[in-house]
């Protein structure tokens, strides 16, 4: 049931902001997005986690990391482990399309990152999505299904499964910074496929309880179309998450969905 799922808006700041300005920006966003019924998360760069965490304490806005290393510890210069993050964040983005593209992250590697998150109580936002050529060839659903199947297989190899607190972000990579536009119906169809795949592969979890976020060039002007789809439970926001006014608009739309779900639950 939709009513079981939280409405979530997570901001991914990517490689933007510095420790000198991140805290003020986070505080401004928190104040501008104080809307009931929406879980808010800000994912700043690693070097800003401490300052952002301090200013957001008690605000109701959670802090997340943009990445985590797949190993527990070791000779991995420049990397950050789940144990290092555990005292700083409660969420973590895993398998973002930019890391799959630029760092050649595989589904197997992503699965091991999910294991690390589970070990340290970090709630993961698992990113999946297809390229333009895959969509044009009619293989969009096959691509995402394959990502989840390979991730599940690697999790099983480590004696694990998809965590019960999993959140999935659908990134139509072809609609991010390209000028091309995905539609709400595209995202809804993919959310259905994601939950179908989780149902087949995610032993021990109820796929209908897993929130699916939209993550394709999210703006306040466009998000309403996606949140109008009952299968979409919020957004993973990129560039717009650095703009308090944009985040306020996005969270306001999400708040309407959250309020409707709470009203529906109260009436059942």
Contact indicator for 52, 26 with CB cutoff of 8 Å = yes
Q: Where are the beta strands (DSSP E) in the chain?
A: 8-12, 39-43, 61-65, 91-94, 123-128, 167-170, 212-214, 234-237
The answer to whether 37 and 9 are in contact (CB under 8 A) is no
What is the bridge-based pairing of β-strands 91-94 and 39-43? unpaired
Tell me how far CA of residue 236 lies from CA of 14, 43, 159, 208, 239, in angstroms: 12, 10, 29, 19, 10
Name residue 91's beta-bridge partners.
64, 123
- Residues known to be catalytic: 96, 171
> Torsion angle of alpha carbons 159, 161, 163, 164, nearest 10°?
-120
How many Cβ atoms from other residues are within 10 Å of residue 174's Cβ? 20
User: If we measure between CA atoms, which residue out of 78, 98, 77, 88 comes closest to residue 13?
Assistant: 98
What gap in Å lies between CA 250 and CA 235, rounded to an integer? 8
């Amino acid at each position: 049931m939709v009513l079981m799922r939280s409405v979530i808006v997570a901001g991914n700041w990517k490689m933007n902001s510095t420790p000198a300005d991140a805290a003020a920006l986070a505080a401004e966003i928190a104040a501008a997005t104080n809307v009931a019924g929406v879980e808010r998360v800000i994912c700043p760069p690693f070097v800003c986690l401490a300052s952002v965490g301090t200013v957001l304490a008690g605000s109701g806005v959670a802090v997340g990391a943009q990445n985590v290393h797949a190993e527990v510890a070791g000779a991995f210069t420049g990397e950050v482990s789940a144990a290092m993050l555990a005292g700083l964040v409660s969420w973590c983005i895993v398998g973002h399309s930019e890391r799959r593209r630029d760092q050649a992250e595989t589904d197997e590697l992503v699965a091991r990152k999910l294991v690390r998150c589970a070990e340290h109580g970090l709630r993961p936002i698992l990113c999946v999505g297809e390229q333009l050529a895959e969509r044009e060839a009619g293989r969009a659903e096959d691509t995402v299904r394959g990502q989840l199947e390979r991730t599940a297989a690697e999790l099983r190899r480590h004696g694990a499964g998809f965590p019960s607190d999993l959140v999935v972000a659908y990134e139509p990579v072809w609609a991010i910074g390209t000028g091309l536009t995905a539609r709400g119906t595209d995202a809804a169809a993919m959310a259905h496929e994601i939950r179908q795949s989780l149902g087949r592969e995610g032993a021990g979890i109820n796929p209908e309880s897993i929130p699916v976020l939209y993550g394709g060039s999210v703006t306040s002007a466009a998000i309403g179309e996606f949140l109008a789809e009952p299968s979409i439970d919020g957004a993973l926001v990129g560039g717009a998450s650095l703009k308090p006014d944009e985040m306020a608009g996005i969270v306001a739309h999400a708040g309407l969905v959250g309020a409707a779900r709470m009203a529906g639950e109260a009436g059942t």
